Amino acid sequence: RSDAPLCLKGKRYINLHKRLGFSGTMGREMMKGTASVHLHTGLLSMDEIPLIYKTLCLMAKCREFGMSQKRREIWKNTDPLRCSMPEIDFDNTDARGILEKIVHHALSAPDLYTNIPVYKMETITFDYFLNHLSTIFTSVRLNMKGPTFEIRTLDSMPVKEMFEKLKLFIEVLEKKRGLSR
């Protein structure tokens, strides 16, 4: 699969494909050989960030929401600057601290066009940074389309199973938020 043609032909995807060919041992397999279900949770307030982010990080490691062993092997051998999670001490980090760690992690990843870490680039726009942020493939990531936090660890599955996972995902988050039906 690693040598199969790209489905998306934009410069961004071509450059990402090039980078993943040398940044790890299985990056191209990750890009073309894995499929996942992404589940998003919207943020009701900044105060929810620590609880929601920590919950999703824990969910990404559990059997019900974690990657299969085979996909995890591909993922961890892709690009350590894009796929590893930021180091966060949840017991001592507030919402601002979590966002700072996520941004710092993204700024450390190389730009797809120059291969220079983004924090070393002379000028970037906010829109450019948001686009760059979407090339960070952590198990849980900030998605600015919402804004949401997105868990990216579930392997593809039949639709029926996906609805069961979604129901469980909602139940876990409602319980953490203290909501009930």
The share of the chain scoring above pLDDT 70, in percent, equals 94
Average pLDDT over residues 68-89: 85
Indicate whether this model's pTM tops 0.85.
no
**Residue 95 to residue 131: CA distance in whole angstroms:** 22
Q: Is 7 exposed, middle or buried (0-12, 13-18, 19+ CB in 10 A)?
A: exposed
**Residues near 87 by Cβ (< 8 Å), separated by ≥ 6?**
101
Strand ranges, E, within 31-96: 36-42
> Do strands 140-143 and 148-155 pair parallel, antiparallel, or not at all (unpaired)?
antiparallel
pLDDT in tens, 123-144: 999 999 998 998 888 999 998 7
pLDDT in tens, 29-64: 776 666 678 899 988 889 999 999 999 999 999 999
